[in-house]
Structures are given as structure tokens and as C-alpha cells.
């Protein structure tokens, strides 16, 4: 009798808990991108498929974002002002769509610039008297300002792809010669270099594991001043940049703007960059690291001078495999995923599924913020240097229309619901294709992937109660439990 009563009390308690919770649910499939679902709350006494450990919080989530680059603004400029503003509101306005709050921007040209440029190509101008962001006033500045209209507190960080060419040994923006190398090298990367000539002779190309930047003190000082002028010029435009990284992918010698550094060379530069940024109240992160070798970070993070200025580290591409080691060795660092792998321009469901795997890896290995790469691109467009890539938005320049791509909705499954200050939560059980978070208001956000083509019921236990959503086949799902 007592056992029967105890069971009845447990059932009543579980039902009571369920009644007190409010659960909302959205799903995305290849056929239907943002569908509101309903969930029936029922008692479940079996073994749950997954337990959300609300008392085992992990890292704090600072936010999610995208990147501002020139091709992004150029593509949006084909649209009517009404459509463009709708997109920017959807991306940046709090509580509306993606809620992006931390975004990246380049310092000078990158692989999705209109052309090569830097802010000072005057050879020997070590005092940076000819520094100018005139180029950016036509593209990056209006792009960022239009986003700021919808989120005035938008956080920005920046990194260069290449220094001014005269600060480099090869006196050129690129690191890899198009003229002197097999096209197969580029084709293997999904880059079509036919008809493209970056003008770099083969005997002046760079190489991984070498310093392309001139290793002299006056060049370090000039480049650190270049960073400071960049921060100040953007402040004059009422755009505040809170953090910089010294080099995008410092191991990659590319046909587009790039610059290889050795870890020792990068460390020497940070000794000069750090004080300049400190005077301006700007943080410095190590990165971006695009190789799986965590030891590439050690020279900087163990240097008695440079390490004092490093507040975090950022990882992209193969750098994701170095992330767990760096996190373990340097637990006080803030960690960013700095660039989601950028795809092949197809913007298809397969790429979206791969992006979910990336998200799980990065977030389960401690990153505090997660960034997409191309915000918007022309449909089927090719970059200045022959690269087709994915984007959150595609613009049809003939019809003057646009489309939000699958990866946008995947980003939104997290960024719309997970607020800055949320904690990643541990989970346990046979079902592990999910991420769980707890916001500061105590709401729990579950993002679940059903990779099966068939419907799947997943029993999720949270604080003594169980919810059992029936997930559509091949779907992404976000449940918010309040």
C-alpha cells in the first residue's frame, strides 16, 4: 500500500512540475525552415534518452555573430532599401531573428573584398601619416552602421588578412603565386583561378613556417601604430572595436591577402601591439589559429611579455582540433570560434548538417562565442580570387530578390534563444545529438538534431520531469522550457 501511494505521489509531482513549465518548440527541415510545433506533456516513467544536468554548468556564452566584409555589403546593395533593412533587422535586432551580438570585421582587404587594398601603401611611412580608411567609407562603414541601427550595443572585433605590402618581405599582398603553380592546388580547395592573376611571381611567394612580415623593430612599431590608427579612425565613425587579433590564419600562404608568421615572429609583434591596444582599451586575442597543432600557441602564451596582453584565443578550420588542448593548458582564456567553415557556394542541406557538427564540437569544447563567415553574397557569385562560398543570405542580382539559406536558420536555432550570459549544460544518456543551455532567467534551451529520415521520439529529463518531443525526420529542433 505504501509503495502504491509513493508511486502515485511521484506521478502527481511529475505532472505538477510539467504543468508548471511552459515549453515552446520550433523545427527546421529541408522542406520547412521555421515551423512552430506543439508538445503534449505526458508522464513518462521509463529510462530517459537524455538527462540535462542543470547543476553542471560549463562555460558562459557571450554570443553569436557573423562577419562584415565588402562583398556582403555589395550584394545587399542590389536590393531595395526596404528589403535590405528587413534583412539587417532580422539579423541584428534583439528579439527579432538571429540576435547577433558579436561580429567580426577585417582590417583592410580579405578574400571577400572588392579588390586588394590596405590603409597605407606609402612605402617607408613608419609614422603612418598617410593612413586612411577612405575605402571602407563606401562599404564596411555603412554596412556596420546599418547593423548598429538595430543593435547599438553590437560588439566588434577585427583582424588583418595582410599588412600593407611594404611591411612584408615579398612586397605583395598575397602569399601564393597564381602564375607559378598548378591550378590543381586551387581546384582542390574549390577555387577557380581561371582568368585570375594575382601578379605575384613564384620566387616571391611565402611559405608556412616562415615570417613574411619584416622582422625588424621599426616595422613592428609601424604595424602596431597601424592597428591603433585603425581603431581611432573607426571611433571617429562612432564604431567601437573592442578586440583585435594580430593575423587571420597565420600559417596560410594564400593567393588572396595573407601573411604567414612563425609563432616566435607573431609573439615579437604582440609585444608591440599589446601596449598600443592597452592604451586604447582594446583587448588582444591570439589567433586566428587554423592548424590542429596547439603548440603553435605556446610561444605567445608562455612569453613573459606577450602573454600579459592576451585575453583570449580564436580557432577556425583545422584549429578546431587544437582547441581542446589549448583550453586545457590555458583555462583562463576566453575562446572564440572565429570563422565557420565557409562551404562551396551551394548553400545546401549537406553543408548545413556539417555546420551543426562544427557547432557541437566547438561549443562542447569550451568556446564562449561562435561566428559565421559570409553574411550575404551574390547568388552563385565568385570572389575576387575565384572562390565560391556559402552565406547566410543569397541575393539574386537579376530579380533583385534574396533568400535566407539553411545555415541561417541553423544559426538562429541557437542565437535567437541563447542569451549572452547563458551557460552550456552537461548532458548524459544514449541520445547525444544535442546541445543544452541555461539562460540567466533559468529557462533551458535544448537544440536537438534528428539525423534519421524517420520521426523520432526523444525522452528528455530536466529537473525531475520529462518532455518527449516527436522530432521530424532529418530535422533541427529548439525547445525552450521555462
pLDDT tens for 43-77 read: 788 999 999 999 999 999 999 999 999 999 999 99
Contact 115, 168 (CB under 8 A): no
For residues 135 and 234, what is the distance between their CA atoms, to the nearest angstrom? 12
Question: Does the structure show a pLDDT above 80 at 11?
Answer: no
pLDDT tens for 348-385 read: 999 999 999 999 999 999 999 999 999 999 999 899 99
Residue reference for cell 579588390: 115
Q: Residue 195 has what pLDDT?
A: 77
Q: Are residues 302 and 370 in the same domain?
A: yes
The string of DSSP codes covering 408-440 is HHHHHHHHTT--TTEEEEEEESS--SEEEEE-T
Residue finishing a domain among 420, 436, 459: 420
Count: domains in the chain: 2
Residue finishing a domain among 395, 420, 445: 420
Q: Are residues 328 and 437 in the same domain?
A: no
Q: What does the DSSP 8-state code read for residue 472?
A: P
Contact 227, 277 (CB under 8 A): yes
For residues 236 and 93, what is the distance between their CA atoms, to the nearest angstrom? 24
Q: Residue 15 has what pLDDT?
A: 41
Q: Are residues 303 and 416 in the same domain?
A: yes
User: Structural domain of residue 443, as residue ranges?
Assistant: 2-58+424-481
For residues 313 and 321, what is the distance between their CA atoms, to the nearest angstrom? 14
Q: Are residues 223 and 263 in the same domain?
A: yes
Q: Are residues 13 and 158 in the same domain?
A: no
Q: Are residues 409 and 471 in the same domain?
A: no
pLDDT tens for 183-212 read: 666 676 667 777 788 999 999 999 999 999
Q: Are residues 160 and 14 in the same domain?
A: no
Q: How confident is the model at residue 5 (pLDDT cuts 50, 70, 90)?
A: very low
Proportion of the chain above pLDDT 70, given as a percent? 94
Residue finishing a domain among 369, 391, 420: 420
- What CATH number did the domain enclosing 155 receive? 3.20.20.80
Q: Residue 189 has what pLDDT?
A: 65
Q: Are residues 332 and 247 in the same domain?
A: yes
| 4-25 average pLDDT score | 53
For residues 6 and 140, what is the distance between their CA atoms, to the nearest angstrom? 65
Q: How confident is the model at residue 132 (pLDDT cuts 50, 70, 90)?
A: very high
Q: Residue 45 has what pLDDT?
A: 84
| 72-93 average pLDDT score | 98
Q: How confident is the model at residue 20 (pLDDT cuts 50, 70, 90)?
A: low
Q: Are residues 36 and 115 in the same domain?
A: no
For residues 161 and 106, what is the distance between their CA atoms, to the nearest angstrom? 7
Mean pLDDT value across the chain: 94
Give 191's strand partners.
387
Q: Residue 186 has what pLDDT?
A: 67
Higher model confidence: residue 145 or residue 44?
145
Contact 56, 371 (CB under 8 A): no
pLDDT tens for 220-253 read: 999 999 999 999 999 999 999 999 999 999 999 9
* Residues found in the chain: 482
Q: Are residues 299 and 397 in the same domain?
A: yes
Q: Residue 378 has what pLDDT?
A: 98
Question: Does the structure show a pLDDT above 60 at 104?
Answer: yes
CA nearest 179: which of 194, 201, 195?
Answer: 201
- What CATH number did the domain enclosing 22 receive? 2.60.40.1180
Question: Does the structure show a pLDDT above 90 at 343?
Answer: yes
Q: Which three cell numbers stand for residue 450?
A: 534528428
Q: What does the DSSP 8-state code read for residue 257?
A: B
Q: Are residues 203 and 109 in the same domain?
A: yes
Q: Are residues 376 and 272 in the same domain?
A: yes
pTM of the model: 0.94
How far is CA 346 from each of CA 187, 190, 408, 445, rounded to the nearest angstrom? 16, 11, 14, 30
Amino acid at each position: 500500500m505504501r509503495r502504491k501511494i509513493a508511486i502515485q505521489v511521484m506521478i502527481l509531482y511529475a505532472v505538477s512540475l510539467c504543468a508548471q513549465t511552459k515549453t515552446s518548440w520550433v523545427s527546421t527541415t529541408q522542406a520547412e525552415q521555421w515551423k512552430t510545433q506543439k508538445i503534449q506533456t505526458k508522464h513518462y516513467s521509463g529510462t530517459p534518452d537524455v538527462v540535462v544536468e542543470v547543476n553542471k554548468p560549463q562555460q558562459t556564452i557571450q554570443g553569436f555573430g557573423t562577419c562584415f566584409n565588402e562583398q556582403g555589403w555589395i550584394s545587399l546593395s542590389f536590393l531595395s532599401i526596404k528589403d535590405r533593412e528587413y534583412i539587417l533587422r532580422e539579423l541584428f535586432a534583439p528579439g527579432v531573428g538571429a540576435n547577433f551580438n558579436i561580429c567580426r570585421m577585417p582590417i583592410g582587404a580579405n578574400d571577400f573584398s572588392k579588390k586588394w587594398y590596405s590603409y597605407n601603401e606609402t612605402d617607408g611611412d613608419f609614422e603612418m601619416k598617410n593612413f586612411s580608411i577612405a575605402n571602407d567609407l563606401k562599404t564596411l562603414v555603412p554596412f556596420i552602421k546599418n547593423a548598429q541601427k538595430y543593435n547599438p550595443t553590437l560588439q566588434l572585433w577585427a583582424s588583418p588578412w595582410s599588412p600593407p605590402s611594404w611591411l612584408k618581405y615579398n612586397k605583395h599582398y598575397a602569399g601564393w603565386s597564381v602564375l607559378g603553380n598548378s591550378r590543381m592546388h586551387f581546384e582542390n580547395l574549390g577555387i577557380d583561378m581561371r582568368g585570375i592573376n594575382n601578379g605575384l611571381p613564384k620566387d616571391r611567394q611565402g611559405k608556412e613556417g616562415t615570417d613574411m612580415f619584416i622582422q625588424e623593430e621599426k616595422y613592428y612599431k609601424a604595424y602596431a601604430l597601424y592597428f591603433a590608427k585603425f581603431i581611432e579612425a573607426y571611433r571617429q565613425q562612432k564604431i567601437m572595436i573592442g578586440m583585435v587579433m594580430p593575423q587571420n590564419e597565420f600559417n596560410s600562404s594564400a593567393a588572396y591577402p595573407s601573411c604567414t608568421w612563425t609563432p616566435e615572429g607573431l609573439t615579437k609583434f604582440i609585444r608591440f601591439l599589446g601596449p598600443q591596444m592597452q592604451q586604447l582599451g582594446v583587448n588582444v586575442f591570439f589567433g586566428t589559429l587554423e592548424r590542429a597543432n596547439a603548440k603553435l600557441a605556446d610561444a605567445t602564451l608562455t612569453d613573459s611579455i606577450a602573454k600579459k596582453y592576451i585575453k583570449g584565443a580564436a580557432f577556425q578550420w583545422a584549429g578546431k582540433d587544437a582547441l581542446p588542448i589549448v583550453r586545457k593548458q590555458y583555462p583562463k582564456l576566453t575562446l572564440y570560434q572565429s570563422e565557420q567553415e565557409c562551404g562551396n557556394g551551394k548553400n545546401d542541406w549537406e553543408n548545413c548538417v556539417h555546420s551543426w557538427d562544427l557547432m557541437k564540437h566547438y561549443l562542447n569544447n569550451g568556446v564562449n562565442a561562435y561566428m559565421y563567415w559570409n553574411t550575404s553574397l551574390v547568388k552563385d557569385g565568385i570572389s575576387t580570387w575565384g572562390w565560391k562560398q556559402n552565406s547566410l543570405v543569397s541575393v539574386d542580382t537579376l530579380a533583385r530578390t534574396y533568400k535566407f539559406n539553411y545555415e541561417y536558420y541553423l544559426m538562429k536555432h541557437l542565437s535567437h534563444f541563447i542569451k549572452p550570459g547563458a551557460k552550456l549544460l552537461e548532458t548524459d544518456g544514449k541520445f547525444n545529438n544535442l546541445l543544452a543551455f541555461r539562460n540567466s532567467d533559468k529557462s533551458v534551451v535544448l537544440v536537438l538534431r534528428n539525423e534519421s529520415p524517420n520521426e523520432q521520439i526523444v525522452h528528455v529529463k530536466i529537473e525531475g520531469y520529462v518532455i518527449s518531443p516527436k522530432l521530424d525526420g532529418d530535422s533541427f529542433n529548439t525547445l525552450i522550457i521555462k
